[in-house]
Structure 1
Amino acid sequence: MVAPSGLTTETLSVIYIRESEYSEQDWHSTMHSHYFTEMLYVTAGEGAMQFDDHREILTANSVIVVNPYVRHTEVSTADKPLSYIVLGVDDIRLAKDEMLVENFYLFTDHSKEILPLLNLMLVEDQRQLQGYERVKRQLASVVVQLFLRATEIHLVSPVDRVPRDGQLVKAYLDAHFKERLSLESLSKALHFDKFYIIHVFKKAFNDTPMNYVTRQRIEASQDLLRNTDYAIGQIAMITGFESQSYFNQIFRAKTQMSPSAFRQAHK
């Protein structure tokens, strides 16, 4: 399918394709964003996609596409756990037209045309036989075309890109902020000089990497304080703090209240 702008799905890049299932023990929803477009297909269960100002209910065969740089997270419950396939694709953005670009687009795949293609992509990704990257890209192109046809939206020009190195750093921090991190460990993992990491992240997001990590940890801890009965020490450990005392210190400095007081105020 060719968009009015002349853009096509044939030039997209596949960032990842994977399956995920809600688990009460290790699922801790944290708001995040991507520099690429993300499609989520619900295969079972019930849940929602949480945005900054509202949430969209998701059920089996729901398909939601989130445009780049939109903060979101998936939420679910243990009684009807959410299972889904998520596809990350770069170099595309979806909209009704160039002047009306929504944060997300949602529809229900009643005909179940998209699911077999996503399952085939998962198989290709797991087996990694000759030409699998090309096969994944072609399948992703068809998946996106089917979504465009079903929703009567189309491709528009990609947004101005945050420098890719800055996004690489942010993506790593989003995935690993609950672990023990330092500029040295970032440098080793990303193969960037630590001073370059500070520079590129500051330029892209007007923040330092470690301050961003702290904010992510605090946000994740607030979510656990509101929605679980975990002990304060457990929450400190889950969200990456060295100790409960250090967690208490940082939490109070960032929120002007203790974790216990925050929990009491939001229960």
Structure 2
Amino acid sequence: MNRISTYRDLGLEPDFIFNIEKCPLTEAFSVHSHDYSELVVILDGSAVHIIEGREYPISAGQVFFIHGNVSHGYKNVDRIQYVNVMFHPDQIVQLPELKLLPGFQALFYFEPFYRKEMNFKGMLSLDGEQLASVTALLDTLLEEYVRKSDGYRLMIRSYFTALVGLLSRCYVQNSGFSENRALRIAESISYLEEHFTQPLTLQELADRAYLSKRQFLREFARNFQTTPMDYVIRRRLEHSCALLRNEQLSVLQVAQESGFRDQNYYARQFRMRYGCSPTEYRERHKRGDSGEGGDF
């Protein structure tokens, strides 16, 4: 039976869902799931990881990310030691610059999604030097979490962001681009995140993912539950909210710098998403009442 645990079971506060443990596993761990995400780094030993009904071997140096509400467990355990980081991504991993890293997109979004289809060949495996660097960061995180000195939440977010950045680099360094489907699509999404204010074509994004336009549309919808165009519009609107706070820019300039060539089209899209015009949003922000559209 799948045992379900929650962040409350760990005694965590709703506004800071984070826990880190370094522990040995001496026996099988039954299949379970939880309402938080989990980053696992295997330090030593070996076992068989069971995830969503599939099994694959794990050993020292392997890193994998598990989304919330995904069932998994361990069997055939042989002196395994690992670090388990349990967290809420929206609270801990906040820097938008991470989305520009193909390795981040691949490791934390696409590899978990394509895990079965790729037969677990997209997993991150660190070499000895990489594992030592990652372990050092994990030890620092663990020390901050245990001591809980002044500003420990800030330090945890900072060190964890550094850890995610390092793992993202390692993923690209250690993966064969042409053979790794998750990384190919991640490269295309990272390009989109970096250039969403510029003209983009479906063909360009599909080419970067080494897919046909039809395949890219299907894969994009599976991962983001929307179309590439709707995704780009949402990113442009989010960006425009930040620009609207600068009163030196006209609404036309905001529209153009956000990637909209037509101010009327921009205004219609803005109202559909936020329920007000760009000018009204600017006035609300000026009064300190930016509403839902102001929180990103």
Normalised-by-shorter TM-score class: 0.3 to 0.5
Structure with greater helix percent: 2
TM-score computed with the length of structure 1 as normaliser: 0.47
